[in-house]
Chain A
Amino acid sequence: MEDVKLMKGNEAMAEAAIRAGADAYFGYPITPQSEVIEYLMMEKPENRTGMQVLQAESEVAAINMVYGAAACGKRVMTSSSSPGISLKLEGISYMAGSELPCLIANVMRGGPGLGTIQPGQADYFQAVKGGGHGDYRLIVLAPSTVQEMADFVDLGFELAFKYRNPVMILSDGAIGQMMEKVFLPDQKERLTDKEVINKYGSWATTGKPESRERNIITSLNLKSEVQENHNFHLQKKYKSIEENEIRYEAIQCDDAEYIMVAFGTSARICQKVIQLGRDKGLKLGLLRPITLWPFPKQIINKLADTSKGFLSVEMNAGQMIEDVQLAVNGKAPVSHYGRMGGMIPSPSDVLVAVEKELKKIG
Chain B
Amino acid sequence: MTEAVITPEEIIKRGKIVFKKTKNMLDKTLSYCPGCGHGVAHRLVMEVIEEMGITEDTIGVAPVGCSVLAYEFMNIDMQQAAHGRAPAVATGIKRVLPEKYVFTYQGDGDLAAIGTAETIHACNRGENIVIIFINNGIYGMTGGQMAPTTLQGMKSSTSPYGRVVETMGYPLKITEMVAMLPGVAYATRQAVHEAKYVRKAKRAIRKAFENQKDKKGTSIVEIVSNCNSGWKMTPVDSNKWLEENMLAYFPLGDIKK
Contact = CB atoms under 8 A, between A and B. Distances in A.
A is bound by B: yes
Interface residues of B, number: 33
Central interface residue in B55, B58, B81, B90, by most chain A CB within 10 Å = B81
A207 B117 contact: no
Interface string B50-72: 00000111110110000011010
A6 to B, nearest CB: 32
A255 interface: no
Contacts of B79: 67-68, 71, 205, 216-218
Contact of A76 (B96, B97, B121): B96
Contacts of A56: 88, 121
A64 to B, nearest CB: 4
Nearest to A222: B69
A351 interface: no
B117 A72 contact: no
A74 interface: yes
Given A24-B92, A90-B82, A205-B77, A68 B61 contact: yes
Contact of B117 (A60, A66, A205, A219): A60
Contacts of A49: none
Contacts of B57: 207
Nearest to A215: B77
Contacts of B91: 54, 61, 65, 68
Interface string B70-89: 01001111111110010011
A214 interface: yes
B95 A67 contact: no
A52 B96 CA distance: 7
Contacts of B82: 64, 67, 90-91, 94
A210 interface: yes
A218 B91 CA distance: 17
Central interface residue in B75, B88, B118, by most chain A CB within 10 Å = B88
A210 B95 contact: no
B100 A216 contact: no
A275 interface: no
A186 to B, nearest CB: 23
Contacts of B118: 57, 60-61, 64
Contact of A67 (B58, B69, B76, B92): B92
Contacts of B81: 64, 67-68
Contact of B88 (A23, A60, A72, A209): A60
Interface string B120-162: 0100000000000000000000000000000000000000000
B77 A67 contact: no
Contacts of B59: 72, 205-207
Contacts of B90: 68
B93 interface: yes
B40 to A, nearest CB: 21
B139 to A, nearest CB: 17
B210 to A, nearest CB: 18
Interface string A67-91: 1111110101000000000000011
A31 interface: no
Contacts of A62: 88
A214 B100 contact: no
A58 B89 contact: no
B88 A68 contact: yes
A220 interface: yes
Nearest to B60: A205
A26 interface: yes
A245 to B, nearest CB: 27
A147 to B, nearest CB: 29
24 contacts: A24-B95, A24-B96, A57-B121, A60-B88, A62-B88, A65-B92, A65-B95, A67-B79, A67-B92, A68-B81, A68-B88, A69-B92, A69-B96, A71-B89, A72-B96, A91-B85, A206-B97, A207-B57, A208-B77, A216-B78, A216-B80, A218-B71, A220-B68, A222-B69
Interface of A: 23-24, 26, 52, 54, 56-58, 60-62, 64-72, 74, 76, 90-91, 94, 98, 205-210, 214-220, 222
In the A-B complex, list the 7 residue pairs whose CB atoms are closest, starting with the nearest. Answer: A68-B92, A65-B92, A64-B88, A68-B89, A218-B80, A69-B92, A205-B77
Given A60-B118, A67-B89, 19 more contacts: A52-B95, A54-B91, A54-B95, A58-B117, A61-B88, A61-B121, A66-B92, A68-B61, A68-B90, A205-B77, A208-B55, A208-B56, A208-B75, A209-B56, A214-B74, A214-B76, A216-B71, A217-B78, A218-B71
